[in-house]
Each structure stands twice: as C-alpha cells, then as structure tokens.
Structure 1
Amino acid sequence: MSEPEKKSPPPPASEQPRELRSGCLTAVLFVVGVILLLPGACAVVFGYLGLQEKNWPAELTAWVVAGLAVGAGGILLIITAWRR
C-alpha cells in the first residue's frame, strides 16, 4: 500500500499573494483624502487664531474639532490608498 500524500500547511499570510486593487480606486481614495485634508487645514488655522484671541466663541470650538476629525479621515484615506 502506498502512503497518503502529506498536505503541506498553507503559507503564512505574509507569503500569500495580495489581492491587488484597481489603480482607479486607489487614485479615487487618494484624491478624496486630499480633498478631506482641506477642512482639516482650515480647522488648524482657525484653531491657531482662536488660541490667540481672548474672546473666542464657544460655538466655533465644535466646528474646529469637526474639521480636525474630517482632516484625520483624509489622512487615513491617503494612508489606505498608499498601502494598497
């Protein structure tokens, strides 16, 4: 009788071929990420100016934080597009 063939374990995740994303989707992610950086840049400018003012309206603080959050999302999209 012949011995059954031994199955080799699957290769580790680092050796498996990565699924390639289309170049168009990568470009769209990158462009959207750059567009989302604009509100973040404005929030940084307004936040800097607000720190220098004595009479900073509290209502604008939420807008600055929201702009920073949108900018952070843009950075994440750019990183995601760059890694693929």
Structure 2
Amino acid sequence: MSISDTPPPAPPGPPPAPTDKRSGRLTALMAIAGIIMLLPGLCALLFGGMSVFEGGRIASDIAPLVFLGLVVGVGGAFLIWAAIMGRRG
C-alpha cells in the first residue's frame, strides 16, 4: 500500500438554485398591459350596472359587449397576477 499526497476528490455540491430568466422589462410590460386590459372590464361593469339600474335588466343589445369587456378585464387581472408571481420552475 502506498500513501498518496493528493487528497480525495471533494463531493459535488448542491445544484445551483433555479433563477427566473424573465427580465424586469418583460414583467413591467406584462403589468402595464394588464392594467390597460382592466379598463374595458371597468367600463363593462359601469355600463352594465347603469343598464341594470335604469331598465331593470341588461339590454340585449349591449349584453355581448358587457360580457366581452368582462372577459378582457379578467384576462388583464390574470396578466397582472402572472407578472407579479413570476414563472414557476
């Protein structure tokens, strides 16, 4: 048996932590686009509420527009949520 002067190799360290590769500019762009998309949802709530209080029910001619505005507003809220939460790995 021979004694060697070289130490045994070190065990491998833990793997590096995953990083969020999305830039801050993209996060800001997503948040701004989400805020802009909230505006049609706000208008849909406003005009839908005015229609309900004036006529007792939503007029059939603006109901699809109110629905579309609400869908766009929900999409904007989801976009803001996705920008804040970031990408999960």
Please state which band the TM-score falls in when normalised by the shorter chain.
0.7 to 0.9
Task: Give TM-score, length-normalised by structure 2.
Answer: 0.71
**The 10-residue stretch of structure 1 (32-41 or 48-57) with the greater mean CA deviation from structure 2:** 48-57
Aligned CA RMSD, in angstroms, stands at 1.9
Q: Deviation of residue 17 (structure 1)?
A: 1.4
Q: How does 1:42-57 map to 2 (within 5 A)?
A: 42-54=43-55, 56-57=58-59
Q: Deviation of residue 59 (structure 1)?
A: 1.3
* Residue equivalent to 1:72: 74
What whole-Å deviation, never above 9, does each CA across 1:6-49 have from its counterpart, x for those lacking one? xxxxx8xxxx5143310000000000000000000000001111
Runs of 5+ unmatched residues, structure 1: 1-10
In the TM superposition, structure 1's runs of 4+ consecutive aligned residues that sit over 3 Å from their partners are none
Runs of 5+ unmatched residues, structure 2: 1-14
Name the count of aligned residue pairs. 71
Q: Percent identity?
A: 41
